[in-house]
């Protein structure tokens, strides 16, 4: 009887060791994000928040994926030195550079550029964020 108990315990241990060593077939990138098969690569919406986390947009953004531009008009008096951009991306995409907080958009002559990277990490699309301020 004791012999059978030992054998079955050893068998169970082998199964758990084998299952523990099963290779993970879901790859992740350097940010720990899942790499998928998706090829969609675009910005679907753009938002710009002021220091009080309220929108500074005066109208909806014009996003031209073919030209790689995001045209955004902001309210009169917006201080563009510290605004918070928010990008809505296609599924599984990521953005480079990452948005980590308030960003300076005040250099209107040199618009900031952001690159969208597709879910399969093979396609890249760069957008130029062109800001204009309402004039009186």
Partner 1 sequence: MTINFKSYIPFFAGIVLLFAACSKNDDYAVPTPKNQLQNDCIKRSLGPNVVGGYIEFAYAMAIPKAKGKLVSAQVEASIPGGAGTYLENRSFYTNSSGVDVPVKIGDPSVTNGNVTTTNFTVDTNAATLRFFYQAPDAARGKQVSFTFTAKSSNGETVTYKMGPYSVSKMDMALDLGVTDADSSYISIADMKVYRRSQPVDPAKIDLIYMYRTFTTVTYKHALVAPAAPKDYLTDFVVPAGATNDVRLVKAFNLRDQQLARLPYGIFIDDPDFLAQDFTNTPDYFLNIKQEAGAWIETADGKYRAYIYFNVVDDTKKRMTISIKRYTMK
Other CB atoms within a 10 A radius of the CB of residue 20 amount to 7
Q: Please state, in angstroms and as integers, the Cα–Cα distance from residue 135 to each residue in 73, 79, 123, following that order.
A: 10, 14, 38
Taking the complex as a whole, how short is the minimal distance between the CB of residue 106 and partner 1, in angstroms? Answer: 9
Is residue 54 within the footprint of partner 1 (CB under 8 A)? yes
Is residue 51 within the footprint of partner 1 (CB under 8 A)? yes
Beta bridge pairs of residue 64: 69
Is residue 79 within the footprint of partner 1 (CB under 8 A)? yes
Whether 130 contacts 67, CB under 8 Å: no
Near partner 1 by CB under 8 A: residue from 104, 113, 124, 132 = 104
- CB-wise, 40 or 47, nearer to partner 1? 47
Picking from 58, 46, 30, the residue whose alpha carbon sits closest to that of residue 112 is 46
The region of 16-24, 45-53, 84-92, 118-126 touching partner 1 under the rule CB under 8 A is 45-53
The region of 21-29, 39-47, 78-86, 108-116 touching partner 1 under the rule CB under 8 A is 78-86
Q: Is 16 helix (H, G, I), strand (E, B) or coil?
A: helix
Give the binding site for partner 1 (CB under 8 A). 50-54, 75-77, 79, 81-82, 104, 134-136
């Amino acid at each position: 009887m004791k012999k059978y108990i030992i054998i079955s315990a050893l068998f169970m241990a082998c199964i758990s060791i084998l299952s523990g060593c099963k290779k993970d077939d879901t790859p992740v990138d350097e940010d720990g994000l899942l790499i998928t098969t998706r090829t969609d690569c675009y910005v679907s919406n753009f938002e710009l928040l002021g220091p009080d986390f309220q929108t500074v947009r005066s109208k909806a953004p014009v996003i031209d994926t073919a030209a790689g531009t995001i045209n955004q008009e902001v309210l009169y008096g917006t201080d563009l030195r510290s605004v918070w951009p928010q990008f809505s991306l296609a599924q599984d995409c990521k953005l480079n550079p990452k948005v980590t907080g308030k960003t300076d958009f005040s250099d209107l002559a040199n618009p900031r550029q952001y690159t969208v990277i597709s879910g399969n990490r093979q396609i890249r699309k760069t957008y130029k964020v062109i800001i204009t301020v309402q004039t009186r």
